[in-house]
Amino acid sequence: MFVNGFSPLNFVARTAVRAVGSTRYMSSVDRAQAALYTEPGDPSRVLRVTETKVSQPLATDVVVRMLAAPINPSDLNQIEGTYPVKGQFTDIPCATQTLRAAVGGNEGVGEVIVVGSSVSGIGVGDWVVPRRSGQFGTWCTHTTVSGDSVDVIPEEWRRGVSGLTVASLKVNPCTAYRMLRDFCSLQPGDYVVQNGANSGVGRSVIQMAREIGVRTINVIRDRPQKELEQLSAELTALGADIVVSDKQVGEVKGSVNGPVRLGFNCVGGRATLAMTKLISHGGTLVTYGGMSRQPVTLPTSLLLFKDIAARGFWMNRWYLDNANAEEKQSMWRDILLMAGDGRFVAQPMQSVRWSPMMDIDDVQQRVRSAVAWDAGSKHAFVFD
């Protein structure tokens, strides 16, 4: 089933909150399931769903019941060992042995079910997200983590927002939010041009640009005409102004009646060069990905005569540089409030149900299919 998310009502706690001594908890959990790997490699080959023991929390820890966790290309690169942020390899107590392994996944949302006695600012029932990538894996049913490794998402921010939207908040929507604000002062009527326009970032750019009166030129990979028309209509419904295939980029210039201040690139190669030619004098090309694995090559004329600047953006770096910044909280609040009143819709995702009561072999097959590079649409684990 393809969904944009699921109701937060699905996550209502099944047990009453109790307290013993100074530790607050919702329910006793000692067993979990996790998708872990003991060495880098092809995710569909090295990931192994295993029954794990939930560590007893220290005074500074919280125990989290995961609610949802998306599968991002960066997660797969991390498992392959090719991503700058490496998996957190630790000794994980499993049902029959202790494994030196890392749990897959970096993004997600969970509900706190146990709070250590020294933890402040986090309560039982709070929804939390990982503070930084690589601190702990999110592809698991439960996990014990340090209280300072998570951030609370206030209930008033997520009112009316689906669980999957919160789970996928930190990477794609925030990348779009920052790129629209951090490289120039966009004005109503300006344009931005982007490739990969049907990606999670691309869809976010369309909707967030619309909110500030900025128009978008959206380049998508060429495909059969009927599919092209369907996708164009889908992006137009989100607020896209111009949608073209990567073979039609040269035809766009006559339809543009304002400055193209920014270009957002997640592809690379020749397609990026064609798109960059649309950027106005003094504009900026921002590269945030490289799906084609081809270099970004710009001719001297664009740099010399149009004064085009080429920059890079990595959301993880922004979080590292702004770990305690109020700007992070403001960004999350803005995006979630947009989602809550219908002005922002998260990227469609195919939900993959995962319950700790399910047979390990069944979960293993679901995980293997979902993390395959040729899986097609974006997938996300939804935990019972």
The per-residue DSSP string of 260-286 comes to: EEEEEESS-SHHHHHHHTTSPTT-EEE
The answer to whether residue 37 is catalytic is no
CA 270-271-275 angle, 5° bins: 115
Cα 307 from Cα 309, distance rounded (Å): 6
Dist CA 53 CA 101 (whole Å) = 14
- Cβ-count burial 57-93 (b if 16+ within 10 Å, e if not): beeebbbbbbbbbbbbbbbbebbeeebebebeeeebe
User: Rounded to the nearest 5°, which phi and psi values hold at 245?
Assistant: -80, 165
Q: Which of 25, 83, 288, 319 is catalytic?
A: 83
**Gap between the Cα atoms of 353 and 366, Å rounded:** 8
Distance of CA 37 to the CA centre of its chain: 21
183, 286 Cβ separation under 8 angstroms: yes
**How many Å apart are CA 136 and CA 90, to the nearest integer?**
10
320, 314, 267: which is closest to 291 by C-alpha?
267
Report, as residue numbers or ranges, the catalytic residues.
Answer: 83
